[in-house]
């Protein structure tokens, strides 16, 4: 059963008719409750709301979430495996990258990656998320060899691996077109790809973040190539730095347009900029914002729900970026997924995040239930792995599963 299709259509709820809600905002919100498509201008109006109007946006997103995916909150048991922190791309928002000669530089062998995947499987993971820096010593076969080694060791685990930037790098190393390279990876066992490296899909913003090393056009090209050969991907945004709401709205529209064409996105994951240890912020504290505000976090998830409804219906709240408490609140502001238990995560922590190592399945269940939703462990592709129920007579979580 697919998690996204558990409830029948429900009646449309009227937006509160408070005098505090202006006619333009009320009109946009009522349009979303009817399932009508928002344009970029509509989204910008919603991003500009404050006070009661902003709360109405969140309340509407919660109603649309209920209509689209029901009263279910999901999570996946996964392990992040960052196989190298060596990278020479020089992205200014990243503090993860090291040079080859650095004392704390790391480059795992394929067998070490397989070891970690096997450990994850033994601990109940259904997925490993494998990503790394663009190490100069990566050969044309390294990405293939990683998949082969993991699948040989743990045949049933889902491999969610390689950002569009890594696919771009693998194509460059092997002198292959993306469709050819991705077809080969899929045949070896690649199950899906993270849609990271998107940052903001705007040329001028990307020049400030990455010197436009992976252009918007290249990112879109690789994502569409993945979808065309049957490799689904996530979709992401990184916000709260040199960007503005118009960039966010255009980014959401572009993702929606891609989904209309390919249908290959499984979810949308907003990722707030973590500024603490990054050159982007520390070299430009007067012009670069120190990450999104909490208000912007809530609006991003809510407006994404409203703008993407019917196209990308799984909206993830990243506890790694926002912390478990805030992420839990997002489940009643448009989001329906808390992402993965992770086991390891080093990219956000390298940038100064205080969250990101591991939460346990029982923590995910408790947080989802605290939001008033039914907790479901899902697969990477949002199929039900296990339903969880709260013991009627106590507040303890009963780990009872129904396949």
Residues contributing to the annotated binding site for S-adenosyl-L-methionine: 93, 199
Whole-angstrom distance, CA of residue 387 vs CA of residue 373: 12
Name the binding residues for (3R)-3-methyl-D-ornithine: 163, 318
C-beta of residue 220 within 8 angstroms of C-beta of residue 201: yes
Name the binding residues: 87, 91, 93-94, 163, 199, 318
Q: How many CB atoms lie within 10 A of CB 289?
A: 17
Q: How many CB atoms lie within 10 A of CB 212?
A: 14
Q: Which residues pair with 383 in a beta bridge?
A: 2
Query: Length of the chain, please?
Result: 403
């Amino acid at each position: 059963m697919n998690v996204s299709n558990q409830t029948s259509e429900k009646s449309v709820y009227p937006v509160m008719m408070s005098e505090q809600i202006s006619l333009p905002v009320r009109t946009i919100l009522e349009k979303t409750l009817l399932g009508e498509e928002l344009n970029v201008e509509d989204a910008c109006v919603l991003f500009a709301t404050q006070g009661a109007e902003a709360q109405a946006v969140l309340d509407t997103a919660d109603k649309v979430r209920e209509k689209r995916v029901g009263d279910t909150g999901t999570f996946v048991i996964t392990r992040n495996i960052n196989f190298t922190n060596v990278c020479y791309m020089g992205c200014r928002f990243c503090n993860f990258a090291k040079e080859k000669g650095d004392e704390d530089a790391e480059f795992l062998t394929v067998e070490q990656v397989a070891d970690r995947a096997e450990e994850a499987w033994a601990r109940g993971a259904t997925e490993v998320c494998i990503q790394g820096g663009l190490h100069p010593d990566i050969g044309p076969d390294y990405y293939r060899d990683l998949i082969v080694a993991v699948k040989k060791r743990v045949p049933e685990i889902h491999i969610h691996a390689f950002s569009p930037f890594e696919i771009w790098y693998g194509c460059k190393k092997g002198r292959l077109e993306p469709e050819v390279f991705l077809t080969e990876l899929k045949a070896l066992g690649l199950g899906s790809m993270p849609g990271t490296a998107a940052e903001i899909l705007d040329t001028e913003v990307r020049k400030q973040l990455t010197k436009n090393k992976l252009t918007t056009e290249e990112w879109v090209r690789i994502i569409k190539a993945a979808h065309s050969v049957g490799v689904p991907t996530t979709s992401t945004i990184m916000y709260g730095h040199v960007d503005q709401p118009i960039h966010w709205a255009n980014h959401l529209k572009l993702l929606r347009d891609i989904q209309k064409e390919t249908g290959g996105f499984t979810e949308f994951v907003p990722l707030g900029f973590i500024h603490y240890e990054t050159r982007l912020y520390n070299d430009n504290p007067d012009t670069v914002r120190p990450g999104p505000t909490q208000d912007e976090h809530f609006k991003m998830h809510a407006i994404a729900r409203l703008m993407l409804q019917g196209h990308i219906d799984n909206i993830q709240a990243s506890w790694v970026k926002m912390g478990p408490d805030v992420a839990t609140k997002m489940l009643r502001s448009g989001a329906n997924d808390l992402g993965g238990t992770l086991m390891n995560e080093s990219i956000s922590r390298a940038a100064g995040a205080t969250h990101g190592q591991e939460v346990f399945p029982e923590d995910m269940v408790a947080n989802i239930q605290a939001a008033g939703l039914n907790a479901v462990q899902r697969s990477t592709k949002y199929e039900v792995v296990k339903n969880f129920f709260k013991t009627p007579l106590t507040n303890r979580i009963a780990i009872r599963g129904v396949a």
